Every structure is written in structure tokens, then in C-alpha cells.
Amino acid sequence: MTHPDDLVTVVIPAHDVADYLDDCLESVVAQTHEHLEVILVDDGSTDATGSLCDAWAAREPRIRVIHQENHGPGHARNVGIALATGTLVTFLDSDDWWDRTFVATLVRAIHDHPGAGTAMCSFERVPGSAYDAGATTTTVLTPQEAVSAFAGRHHSLYVIPCAKLFRREILSPDIFPVGIVAEDAYVTHRLLMAAPVVLVPEPLYLYRQRPNSIMSRPFTVAQQLDEIGGSEQQVRDFTQAGLLRAAGWSADQAFRKRARLIAALRSTGQAGTAEQYAALALQSRSTKGLPRRASFRALSALAGVSPRLAVATFSTFTSWAATQPRPVPGSRKRIALTFDDGPAAATPDLVRYLVKQSAGATFFLRGDRSESEPDTVRLLHGTAGMEIGTHSHTHPDLHRVDAGGIRDELRRSAAAIESITGTRPVLFRPPMGHRSRMIDAIAGELGHPVILWSVNSMDFKAPGAAAAQVLANAHDGDIVLLHDTSTATLATTTTIVPALHRRGFELVTVSALLGDLSPGRVYRGATTPRVRFRRWRHLQRLRVARRVSRPRR
């Protein structure tokens, strides 16, 4: 029974989402649970979002539109809660959408368990795959169990207010902080602590991964401080509730975020480093005694004595750890194909072939070539399953360029691509894979994760052997380097794609493979530790081959 008499309030903040709003609202009005009120908050949009909201309200009586100046999603959600008349409330981001059974399934789940305050489901990244919620059947979690999942490997699922249905009585009209980017981190854990949680493992929420969303914008000190504040709020709340293991986990996250902020401030020459060192020392002393991971317990103790040494130690470790493969929860066997140096003459045929084979890919484009081939860039941008990253503007060796020149290369390339597609590229691959701490820091300053590779096809040196090179060395979680400027790329791709499919691999974009990415961090792939030896052996073979091929003097 789906309880059709229960009125469900759907709160949708909307800001500059004219390209996505129709998909979102079509999924809402198509819900099998029809007793809905939709509060659509136009949060100071500067594009056609406001007029689209009004058009939808004119033809759908369940939609009510609120126009306001831009205050952020937290304020918009508070407005929706204050106006809600439903007994149940859910939140939907305006660039995402639902499976048509989303509301009915969660209404049934929460009614089947009268003591629950929240029902939640998994989500599916688009492009990408479904998140593994860690359960195969509907499960009831105590508040302590829900917090344990929040403070662990399933944090990404539990921290978001979306993909959840709440009883209205556990929501207050001012529950979300205003003017904060990472408002989820201040709120969702409190809702999970309020009453038992029903987990439905099916991915009924469709999460659009787009490069110009709030979480993909360039790094700012204010954003990082908001995230630190959220972790510190969790420490206080969990400690007060006696959930000390979760408090220790959040303390580890607060340390990690502040240490990264300090490293970013130092590398970019911004002010405020001394204040953050002092805050780190205070933070470390205030969380003394909480159960912590051994590494963070040691770093925190060190920070109480010498915060500078603690940050230096942390930076050294994370620089190494960031280059190591990492598993993504909820993933099947996947590989990311990437193509550098384009767009080129062969790129359109390559895209059409990949689409036909249901294969995703990421293209790292040069800015100057994008300006010369705008139609190809538009084709990539408009094709589902294709992802665009930047590969600098003119493809220089960034080791030979000063800091100002590096910034100029990245900014010009991003601007060239954005002028064609309307979307700023997020991923960055340095030319020839040449990187340094300065290059990484500047990429982070501009909002770019640094994407390298784990399997080099060597198609630029030996095109005829590239397919064999990939098939001999590619494993689950690898990022494969190819070049769409190579004359043999299409032939190589038509060989490796069906072969990898036969081996059970899903071919996805880099973002789908790696999940949430941090600006300035370096990524080489996403695999389990057992694959690392194979990868190390592959890299050693490449190094030997390079030495052998060098001419003797």
C-alpha cells in the first residue's frame, strides 16, 4: 500500500538551472504517488530559470513558485519547510531527477516502520553508476547505526539531504544555515540522530554530475572554512550525544580539511596562514581524548606542539597517498578511457563509435584547438557519456613555465571551452603528465583536480601496438591514456572497446570512475591494492623501454 492520502511536500531550490529544470520537474509530476505539493524556490536566478518556474506553475496546480534574491540552497530549503503543509517532506536538487517510484517507495517504507523519522534510498550518478548502499534489502537502522554509516565509508550517501523523506515534525524552519556552501554537513547528521532510519537500497535518486555545479566551483577559503565548520559542528553534536567514535571520525575530517587549507594558503601566497595554524592547534587540543585513527591521533598530538610540523608531515603523506589508487564504493569493474590533445579530425568519428558501443570517455582538450574546432567541442559537450577536461591552452611543458604562465594556460583553456559549451571544464591533465607541487597547487586554486593515468597506450610512439599494450595491462579501476590526434586511434579504440566489454568492464568517464574529486589533488586511477603490483610492473617496463630507446652518446 502506497498511502495515497499522505501529502508529501517537495522542496526544490533552483538557481540558474534552465538547462536542467524540465528534466527535474517532469520526474516530479510523473511520480506514481500523486498527492504532492511542490515548493519551487527560484533563488535569484540570472538565466531563464525564473520564467520556466512560472510556466510550470501555470500548467501544474501542484507547483507553487517562490521568487527571492539569491541566498543559497540552505535558505531556499528553509523557505520550503516553513511553507510545507505535507506530513512528509523531501528535498530535490533542481539539476537532478527521480525514478517515478521514488516518493511511493519511501512513503511505503516510512509507513511500514511508524517509529522511523527518515526513509532514504541510494542514488545513481549520471553519467556513472549506482552507489552501493551497503544493503540488499530494506533495512531499519537505529540512530546510532545511521550515524556510524554517516561517519564512515558511506558518508557520501548519508550526508546529503536529498534521496531522503523526512517526517515534517523533525524539521524546523531554520534548520539549514544560511550563506554556507556545505550546509549539509551542519544538518543531516542531526536528522539521522532524531529517530530510526529506513534504508531502501535501490538507486531511485538520479544525481547529475555536472562541472559547473556548486561543489565543482573553484576552491575558495570561505568554502573550505564552511566545510571545516561543518565537521567541527559534528564533533560537538556527536560528543554531546555520547557517539564518541563518530566524533573522532569528524575530528579527523576537520584536521584534514584545515591542514589542506593551510597548504593551499601557503602555496598560493594568500593571507591567513598564521591564524589557521593557531586554529589547528586549538582544534587538536579540544579533541584530545576522542577515539581517532592512529595517524590522525599522532598528527593531532604533534599539532598541539608544532602545528607547522604537523601540516608539513600531513602534506608529505597526502602527496604520496593522492597518487595511490583508491576504490570507489558501489562500483563494478570499470575502466576510464581518456583522449588527449584534441579536438582533432578523428574525434567526431571516435565519439560516434563510442556512443554506438555504449562506452563513456573523457577528452582532455587543448584550448587553442578547441577554438579552431568549436563544432567538435559542441558535439562532445552534447553527447551523453562524454566528458570534457582541459589539457592547457597551447600544450607547453609546464615545468618550464612560471606560476603566472601556468595560471594563464589553465585560465585561457577553460575560458575557450566555456565560451563554446557554456560549461567550465573541471578536470585538468597537465601536458605530458608533467606536474609539480606548484602546478598541483595552481590547479587547485582554479578548481581543477589533476588527472594522470595508470595505463599508457604509447599510441603516440607505436600506434600499431597500442591496442595490445592496453589489453595486456588494463585492470579494474585503470585510467587509460590515448590520443585522438593519433592516426591509428580509431582503429585502436575499435579493438580495445569490444575486448574490454567481453572481459566484463564498463567503460566510463573519469568522474564516474573516481567519484567526488578534490581540486589540486592528483589521481591516477581507482583500484584495489591487489592491482597495484601489476601497475607498478607495467610502469617499470615502460621505464626500461624508454632507456633502451634512447640513442647512445
The residue type found at 140 is: V
Is cis: bond before 348, omega within 30 of 0? no
d(CA 87, CA 371): 53
Whether 340 sits among the annotated catalytic residues: the reply is: yes
Residues 6 or more apart whose CB falls under 8 angstroms from that of 68 comprise: 41, 42, 43, 44, 75, 76, 79
d(CA 227, CA 223): 6
DSSP-assigned letter for residue 243: -
d(CA 93, CA 76): 11
Q: How far is CA 71 from the centre of its chain?
A: 23
Q: Which of 340, 459, 476, 484 is catalytic?
A: 340
d(CA 508, CA 85): 42
Q: Which of 15, 33, 448, 483 is catalytic?
A: 483
Residue 324 · residue 523 · CB < 8 Å: no
Of 124, 96, 157, nearest to 332 by C-alpha is 124
d(CA 503, CA 499): 6
By three-state DSSP, how is residue 125 classified? strand
For the chain, the residue count is 553
DSSP-assigned letter for residue 84: -
d(CA 181, CA 183): 6
Q: Which residues are catalytic?
A: 340, 483
